[in-house]
A and B are shown apart, each in its own frame.
Chain A
Amino acid sequence: MEQRTITGAQSTAKDDRMEPRPFALLAELTYRCPLHCPYCSNPLQLAKYRNELDTSTWQRVLTEASALGVVQVHFSGGEPLVRPDVVELVATARAVDLYSNLSTGATTADPQILANLREAGLDALQISLLDAREAENDFFAGAPSFKQKQSAVRAARQLGFPITLNVVLHRQNLSRLQEIIDLAVTWQVDRLELAHVQYTGWAFQNRSALLPSRAQVESAEQIVANARERTGDHLQILHVLPDYFQEYPKTCLNGWGRTFLTVAPDGVVLPCQTAREIPQLCFPNVQDGSLETIWFHDPVFQRFRGTDWMPEPCRSCDRREIDYGGCRCQAFLLAGDPAVTDPVCRLSPHHHLVEHELQQAERASPDFAYRVMSGGEGLGQQ
């Protein structure tokens, strides 16, 4: 799936013994995907994780998630619509009182499957778009997909779905930001999520091709501000700024193991969707225990929960319960150690690594590598 954030979730529960409880579950049904986005948040070694949970295990996961306190499930992937049981799983989510979202690249989103999802109780649909122009969209996706996205939006609108259009912003499409916003207006979607690339997964590999210049980021802020004036309440525009350009890191998923969990296609349970790339950590699987046991007792969920694990400068910093020291994946990717302050933070002793990248980004950009199922005949490449 493309990268996204879950906002608005706040923990206010009172029971200290069983705290914190998660609000949101990201259910990555499969890593298979007909598209090849260069910033995909799926693992680099996709082929290593071909095993997928079966329907009844997913149903158990959804039921356990609800019992654990989860209120929202986000079905994603890969492309969740390649799973033949996706409608059934949406119905289960509804039956256990979960609010459900589904993110699709839309190449397989024909009107019939959308209607079935609607009937099964899917609450909201997110459709990804890579660029405002067909040629550029299809180029970045590594496959023709613009037309399919356009028809999926139309069909979803007719079905009465609330639609969020998700566009990941980067150096090579930022010049068309205005066109992207105009397209969202023309397509009459309810929300436009403009998220700058987060540099983990494939995006980290492609960092030098994707990282924008500071001037691009500033101009994007201006364009969004103007657009908000014009569209008013008709189109909600969410703009997630690139953290490389900020002084302090983003509050990664409200903190490790606080409000969010991911179940990967093979059943691995992760505090964050990209965390499995941290080789120092060993993650549990839903096949070995209940979600509740994993959430409260698995060492990996305890590892960076709260503030006790923190080194300096976080330990004595005023912001430690605001950003929880930033992203663990980013700390690993940039500094080689998941247990240090996120190098994006200007107080981090590794901050020069980010500055170096930003300086590079002021120069020319090389090509990027498409996301592929390494090891050959991945379903993603058909």
Chain B
Amino acid sequence: MLLHPMIEPASPLASLHGITKVFANGVTALAGFDLDIRAGEFLSLLGPSGCGKSTVLRLIAGLAEPTTGHVAWPGSTHEDHRSEIGFVFQEPTLMPWADVADNVWLPLQLRGVSRHDARERIAESLSLVGLENFAKAYPRELSGGMKMRVSIARALSLKPRLLLMDEPFAALDEITRFRLNDDLLRLQNDLRCTVVFVTHSVYESAYLSSRIAVMSPRPGRIVAEVMGETPGSRAKDFRTSTRYAALCGEISRILLEHMAEERG
């Protein structure tokens, strides 16, 4: 127990407090939303379609402003937190006119790093996702899973402290998804970054996360939290373990309970 303390660290990496998000067309996407993101954790946001998961990520990244409430960054100023965020969209969102290396370069390029100086970083990011031999390929020459890995490499090129991922593997087949899940866990372990991962798959959240936050249907808020497997104690055959099966069962039960509640 002492090796894997479950107590919260003193100050979270980011903290969303009393958030309401009302869009211009009057849709209330989030109401009474509270969430702490703890340094080093793998947090999954799980909820039905349209409950506001993407909106939460956009608020964290500063791409949208909350209507009420605020996003706090204890430990760093609001201005510089952006440089610590990597964002992976649901689609790969690559520039079709640029080859893989240039796509990975983009965040650095926008920060004013020359192609020459970025060379090493690009190679490093690409080898982290196992695409070192595809630096010169164009996006259309890659498979869907490879494009997604380029997108992840791009998010990693800035060495983010916080990686935001919006259903990155939703469009992929099971086999590829399993492999990328394992890659992602290895990456997080290597880079020691914090991950906030949006998904609507119970199984994916159970497999990946150290913590799962379950959201209610719109207007979204956190209705339950489930502690997942701690990163250090994850067994190699976790996917076939009884612990994994129990986690899936528990999450499904909570999800169903809250959906029924909403309806009833």
A, B: real partners: no
